[in-house]
Amino acid sequence: MHASAGVYEKMLAEARTSLKIFGELGWTVGEGAALSVIAKAQGRMRRYGEALVSAERALSMLEEAGELSDMARTMDLIAYAHHHLGRHREAIGYWRRAAELHASLGAVDKRNSHAMTALIHSLLYLAADERWAGEAGPARGTAVRAGQRLVDYLELHRAGCPPADVPAGLGVLIDELRGLVGELSRVPELTETLLRRLFALSARAQGLGGVIERLVDTETSPPHGLRAHPWVCD
């Protein structure tokens, strides 16, 4: 188990306590949120089967309450569990639903950094699971969309920084991403090489002086060596 497992054990224990309290209060939204945190901790500890059960319970409660933002993040958790269990087709459905919700909640607004980040993550893993499920054509379109959103996101940060505070290498990274998006737009299918390049560029964005939000987790490796969804794993 990872060295930081104690952190997630503590998270799990605290979320279970919250779940009990919210259950006694009859607060469905609180129960759903607590179950999502439980699923997050279980996923981070690589207990994917348990995480799936917890996240599915959470989603049912959050859907009943109409909590769209929490629903989107919980769909990501369910997709993440399926992804790690090798159930790529199941993961695809949840990544797609999550991406639609993230977009509807403000990801199309370049000022909404959090929603943009959430959408990028869902699209990156949707592209990966589509490809591994044998849908390399649709995966290419998803990868183009993810790359374009990532360019928008990085441009947002560059525009918001005083010139002296722009992270070194940000302009080069944006240009490389634009080049990759152009390349993806010209090919019929998403190849493993192109997919890895997209994830590698996303990972580089993470390391730009702490200014860019975390895009790709650097600790847990899902199938094929790609990295885990940050909302699930941070």
pTM: 0.84
Q: Is the pLDDT of residue 9 over 50?
A: yes
User: How would residue 111 be classed by pLDDT, with cut points 50, 70 and 90?
Assistant: low
What gap in Å lies between CA 97 and CA 94, rounded to an integer? 5
Phi-psi category of 156—alpha, beta or left, where left has phi over 0 and alpha has psi -120 to 50? alpha
Q: Is the pLDDT of residue 184 over 60?
A: yes
Q: Is the pLDDT of residue 79 over 60?
A: yes
Residue 234 DSSP SS3: coil
Q: Is the pLDDT of residue 112 over 80?
A: no
Q: Is the pLDDT of residue 110 over 70?
A: no
First-last CA distance in the chain: 16
Q: Which long-range contacts (CB under 8 A, 24 or more apart) does 64-70 make?
A: 64/28, 65/28, 65/29, 65/32, 67/29, 67/32, 67/33, 68/101, 68/104, 68/105, 69/101, 69/105, 70/29, 70/32, 70/33, 70/36
Q: Is the dihedral of CA 34, 45, 192, 174 positive or negative?
A: positive
CB 43 within 8 A of CB 229: no
What gap in Å lies between CA 36 and CA 49, rounded to an integer? 14
- pLDDT (tens digit per residue) in 121-156: 999 999 999 999 999 999 999 999 999 999 988 988
Q: How many CB atoms lie within 10 A of CB 175?
A: 11
